[in-house]
Each structure stands twice: as structure tokens, then as C-alpha cells.
Chains A and B, each alone.
Chain A
Amino acid sequence: MPKGSSETSRPPPERGRGRIAARARELWRFRFMLRSLILRDLKVKYKRSTLGFLWTFLNPLLTVSILIAVFRVVIRIPLEHYWAFLLSGYFAWNAVQHMLLSSSYILQTHSGLVRSTAFPKEVLLFGAAISRLIELAIELALILAVLGLVHHQGVPVGYAFLPLLMLLLAVATAGLMFPIATASVLFTDVQHTLPILTTSLFYLTPIFYPADMVPESFRGLYFANPFARLITLFHQALYEGRVPDGGLLLGTAAIALGLFAAGYAVFNRYKDVCNELV
């Protein structure tokens, strides 16, 4: 602790596990705030158009159909039921992208609240993430049904792993949302730079091609990207319908937790500065 600074009543000056428990209790006090943020987010989105959910579902579906046209007709990726392959990865990636982008403006959107009220700012990030995850869950439910009917003609065992995969996706993405939110308050150009990065990440993640097509010698580097791992797991569970690779799963879980811990630490380190700058 730097000289001259000292404790305040919030957050309590506890260490280790005690500090995590105190943090969790603090967040629990704001559960109703989180709830209203999520509900409001969903309501705003679906009030905007009469087609509602169908409309937001059509948008990524349009992208998927373009990808099918390009990679089925022009560049021929040799996969059976290529559409099924795309569906099982693209929607998850789309959710990740939305969550990352939302973290670059969510604190600014609620700047009034941030400047005039004391609350843990991560509630805003969690709200944005959870509302998008709810949408993803609905989208995936539809995709599961279509894949089950047409592609698998049955219910494959891989489907059972979907909740776990979504949890890993949430944890890993939240881990990146924290530092992005911090950086977007400190630097004004983060909002404009981020889409460039997510577009690059789109090509470095197996969304329109399977990870097997990446040459063996690059595979290690390739799988340093946590989303390359996650989307591959989604392919294994949804497209192949099998139990995902244990090693890949464990490694991904470790990376996701590591990202979360590191990201949260960065966020906490700068949160007081952010409160005054937003």
C-alpha cells in the first residue's frame, strides 16, 4: 500500500480468500441492479422492432449465408454439411464479439450513474455480458434443434456439454471485457480500435474453417488464442456431436480462469481512476 493511503470502509481491507468473499457479498447486494440492467437491455433491444428476436437472429444468419456462398462455392472447404459447421461456431463467436464491443462503451453509457452513485462498476459489465449470453442461449437452442433434426438425426451426446462450454465462453470473454472497459475510459480511441482487433480475431479463430486445416507446426501458437480453443470445442460438441477433447477442455478452462483473474485485477487496479474520468 502506498505511503499516505489507508483503509476505507469500502472495500474492507481483507486479504486472500476473505477478500474474495467480501467482494462476492458486495456484488450480491447489487443483484437487483444487475437484474434490472439485464431486463432493460433485453427489453430495449426487442422493443425496437416488431420482428424482435427474429430480426436479431436474421442478422447473423445473413452473414452465415454469405459465408456459405463464399466457402462452399468459391473457396471449397471440404466439410459435410458445411452450413451445420458454420452454425455451431459462428453464433458463439458473434456473442463474444458483441460482449467485447459492449465493454468498450458500457461505462460511458452509464456515466451519469458512475459519477453520481457508488456501486461496483463490474455490475455494468456483468449485465451486458449476461444479457448477451441469454440471447446466445436462445439462438443455440434453435440451432441445436435444427442440427438435431437435419444434421445428426438424433440427439448426440455432445449437446450435454453445451452449458459447460457457454460457461467457459462467458468466463474467458469477461476476462477480456475488464481490461477493455478500463482502457476505453483511459484512452478515447479504444472504441475505434477494438473492431479492427475483433475482425482480426475472426480470421484467427476457426469459424469458417476447421482448426484441423491449420498446419500442425502452427497449431500450438494458434491455440494460444482462447477463442480458437472455445470455438473448436463448440464444433466438437455441436457439429461432431461428440464428447469434447478432455485435454483441450481442461486447457481452455485454465486459460479462461487465468484471463478472468488477470482481467479483474487490472480492472480493480484502475477502478478509482476510472470513476473520476468517466
Chain B
Amino acid sequence: MSSSSARSVRIECRGVCKRFYYYSHRTTTLREWFIRAVMRRPLHVRSEEFILRDFNLRVESGEVVALIGRNGSGKSTALRLIAGIYAPTAGTIRVNGRLASVIELGVGFHPDLTGAENVELAAGVMGLGPRALRERYKEIVAFAEIGAFIEMPMKYYSSGMSARLAFAVSMCADPDVVLIDEVLAVGDEAFRAKCIDRLASFVERGGTILLVSHEMPTVAKLCQRAVWMENGRIRKAGPAAEVIAAYQEESGARQESED
């Protein structure tokens, strides 16, 4: 944890936009590229769409903020942009401090490597060296509750097991900011409770969390603020209870009208 105990800005997004292309034809082979270049035909036929428009967010240390909204509203894209996986089409994103992202739990793991090897790789990605990892290794394995499986290739892991391991590794590097995408939904009830405990103590020590979740009880319990996203824009942002109430009211109304 960084030493700044005073409230400081951890995540700042200003006017962030992200454009994606949808290809009805994409040239995917060198041969076709060559033919199209010779015949002067366009390489791609595509339409563009802004997945995220004018996204502004400021999160300070010690805050827990949730992004909520329906599927495809741009929550996960926002998280990936902040994590640095995607580059924004426009706007600025700043993250101050060490960042740990738990996005698509376990997807970053290599299926042919053992749990231990993946832990080493993941720790390396977060800048944790072999010595620092050795000190924390037991704690990671104990937290993830996978026992002897740690020496087995990860393709034999259940989704719950790899989720637990991913969570344990990302929390071990003493991050300042944690990004979480719908991961608490993977584990069983007991593990979820354990994760929430761990996150709560992380926040107490000044940690910052930005999470994407569809589970309103979790959001209500964990977060002070929530941001409701719709069609790539922020629909409403504010105290978690208020935003959740507004969101649930509307999705309830929508369901009724669909029934």
C-alpha cells in the first residue's frame, strides 16, 4: 500500500470514448489482402460504433465504486480501458498507484501450465519478483484453497478453482487499485464471503476498488457509490443506494411492460 494516507485521486477518466468496429467483411489472409490491393478493392467493410461515450469518473483512495447496467452498456469496456488493456479512442485515463485487475477471472492463465507456474507468471506481470513471491506464496495457496492441485496443469481446474487462484494472486501484490469484473459471481457462497472480507479490509487500509457487477446485494453492501451505464453513456451516478434503486425501478418496469 502506498504511504499517502490522505485522500488522493486513484482513477481519473475524462471524456473517454471508445470506438469499436464491426466487420461485415474483414480481410484476414495475406493472399486476400494482396488480391484486394491489386484490384483496388477496400480491405474491410465495417461499421463503427461507440461503445463508450464521454465517460467521466473520479475515484479516490478508500472508495468502492460499482459500475452497473444491462449487458452491453459499456461497463466492461470501461474497466478494460482503465486497466490499460484497450487504448481509448479519445479522452484521458489516469491511474495512480499499483493496479491489479481481475478481469475475466482466470482467462489470463495458461491452461498447460501448473497453478504454481501461472502464479509465478501472474505475479511477474504485476511486478512481483521471485523473492517477494516466495514470501506470499503460502498465503496465496491457502487463500485459494486448492491444496495439491497447485502442481497440476490449470486445464484440470474447475472454474471456481481458477477464479479463487486469480483472486488470491491479484490481491497478493499489495495493489492500490483493484478492478473487478463480475468475478465474485464465480466462487461458492463461502468463498465469496471470504473475498468480500478481504476486499473490505483492503479498502479499510486505503485501497480503491472499481467493480462491475450485476448482483445488487453485493453492490449495495460493498460500495458507497455506483455508476449506472446505458448504451455507452453514464445514465446516473451517485450514492449506491440511490442509483441501485433507480436502476432496479426501471428494470422492474421494463420487465412488467415486457410481460
Contact = CB atoms under 8 A, between A and B. Distances in A.
B90 to A, nearest CB: 5
Interface string B103-122: 11001111011000100110
A36 B183 CA distance: 26
Given A116-B108, A187-B30, A193-B30, A36 B124 contact: yes
B123 interface: yes
B28 interface: yes
B124 A112 contact: no
A95 B86 CA distance: 33
Interface stretch (A3-11, A203-211, A224-232, A237-245): A3-11
Contact of A9 (B29, B93, B107, B109): B93
Contacts of B91: 6
B89 interface: yes
Given A30-B125, A35-B130, A189-B30, A116 B90 contact: no
A40 interface: yes
Nearest to B84: A118
Nearest to B111: A112
B21 to A, nearest CB: 9
Interface residues of A, number: 36
A43 B5 CA distance: 43
A33 B83 CA distance: 18
B85 A115 contact: yes
Contact of B31 (A8, A34, A118, A189): A189
A110 interface: yes
A112 B33 CA distance: 27
Contact of A35 (B33, B108, B124): B124
Contacts of A145: none
Contact of B125 (A7, A113, A272): A113
B92 interface: yes
A275 B85 contact: yes
Contact of B85 (A29, A117, A190, A193): A117
Interface residues of B, number: 41
A33 B85 contact: no
B104 A32 contact: no
B204 to A, nearest CB: 27
A183 B110 CA distance: 23
A185 to B, nearest CB: 10
B57 interface: no
A5 B15 CA distance: 11
Contacts of B238: none
Looking at chain A's contact residues, is the secondary structure mostly helix, strand, loop, or mixed? helix
B87 interface: yes
A5 B107 contact: no
Contact of B129 (A32, A118, A188): A32
B19 to A, nearest CB: 9
B92 A7 contact: yes
A187 B117 CA distance: 31
Nearest to A110: B110
A137 B109 CA distance: 30
Contact of A8 (B20, B29, B92, B129): B92
B29 A189 contact: yes
A276 interface: yes
A55 interface: no
B25 interface: no
Contacts of A30: 124-125, 127
A119 B30 contact: no
B243 to A, nearest CB: 27
Given A30-B124, A117-B101, A183 B30 contact: yes
A9, A34, A36, A44 pick with most chain B CB within 10 angstroms: A36
Interface of B: 17, 20, 27-31, 33, 83-95, 99, 101, 103-104, 107-110, 112-113, 117, 120-121, 123-125, 127-130
12 contacts: A7-B92, A8-B88, A8-B94, A30-B124, A32-B129, A36-B120, A36-B121, A112-B109, A117-B83, A119-B125, A188-B29, A272-B87
Given A8-B84, A118-B85, A118-B99, 8 more contacts: A4-B90, A33-B124, A35-B124, A36-B117, A112-B109, A116-B108, A188-B28, A275-B87
